[in-house]
Every structure is written in structure tokens, then in C-alpha cells.
């Protein structure tokens, strides 16, 4: 994952907390209880080398709207930003999404 996160990457988690690149890379990766397929997956061109990807996923007993900003490099795609926003009231899961 290290190669796919920009040096200034950050994430806004479901709690609204900001996580920097190091915190995301250091997070324990457990099983993700997600239901596939992804709903409403879209990519929007933001310029010559950037895209915004969005979807909605069912996981941890609720629905989450997710968004990412990626940019293309000579080595491939690198993520600059990620955000998960709960669509359910009472969401309690903390940590990076």
C-alpha cells in the first residue's frame, strides 16, 4: 500500500477524524465485512492526471459513501485523499475506512 499513497496523503474517517499517511499505513488491517458489488461506482476526470472516484458500500452494518482522489505518475496511480461518510445515524466505528 505504501507505493500507492502520496507523500502528503490524508484520510477523513467515518468519525470525521483526519488520519495522515503514517497513521493509515500503521493501522491494523483486519477483516473488512463489505458486501460486493460496489454501488454507484463512478470516476470523474479532474484534469490531465487526476480523477475523483466515488462509490457506496455496505459494511459494518451500514452504508458508507466513499471518495478518493488519485493522480497518475510514471509508475502508476497514487492516492492523494480518501474519505468515508456514513449514511446511517448512530455510526460508531472509528479509524480509517
State how far the Cα of 85 lies from the Cα of 78, in Å rounded to an integer: 21
Please give the biggest Cα pair distance in the chain: 43
Tell me what pLDDT residue 95 has.
54
CATH of 2-28+36-86, one of 3.40.140.10, 3.40.50.12780, 3.10.450.50, 3.40.50.10800: 3.10.450.50
State how far the Cα of 5 lies from the Cα of 89, in Å rounded to an integer: 30
Q: Domain extents for the chain?
A: 2-28+36-86
**Full-model pTM:** 0.79
Query: How many CA atoms does the CB half-sphere of 35 hold within 13 Å?
Result: 10
Tell me what pLDDT residue 72 has.
97
Helices within 1-97 (DSSP H only): 21-26
Residue 72: name the closest of 38, 46, 33 by CA: 46
Tell me what pLDDT residue 68 has.
97
Per-residue pLDDT of the chain (97 residues; tens, 9 = 90+): 889 999 999 999 888 899 999 999 998 777 766 677 788 999 999 999 999 999 998 877 788 899 999 999 999 999 999 999 988 654 445 555 5
Amino acid at each position: 500500500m505504501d507505493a500507492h499513497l502520496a507523500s502528503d496523503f490524508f484520510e477523513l474517517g467515518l468519525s470525521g477524524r483526519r488520519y495522515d499517511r503514517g497513521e493509515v499505513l500503521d493501522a491494523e488491517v483486519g477483516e473488512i465485512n463489505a458486501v460486493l458489488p460496489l454501488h454507484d461506482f463512478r470516476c470523474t476526470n479532474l484534469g490531465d492526471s487526476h480523477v475523483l472516484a466515488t462509490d457506496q458500500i455496505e459494511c459494518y452494518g451500514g452504508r458508507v459513501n466513499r471518495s478518493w482522489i488519485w493522480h497518475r505518475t510514471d509508475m502508476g496511480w497514487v492516492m492523494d485523499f480518501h474519505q468515508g461518510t456514513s449514511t446511517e445515524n448512530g455510526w460508531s466505528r472509528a479509524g480509517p475506512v
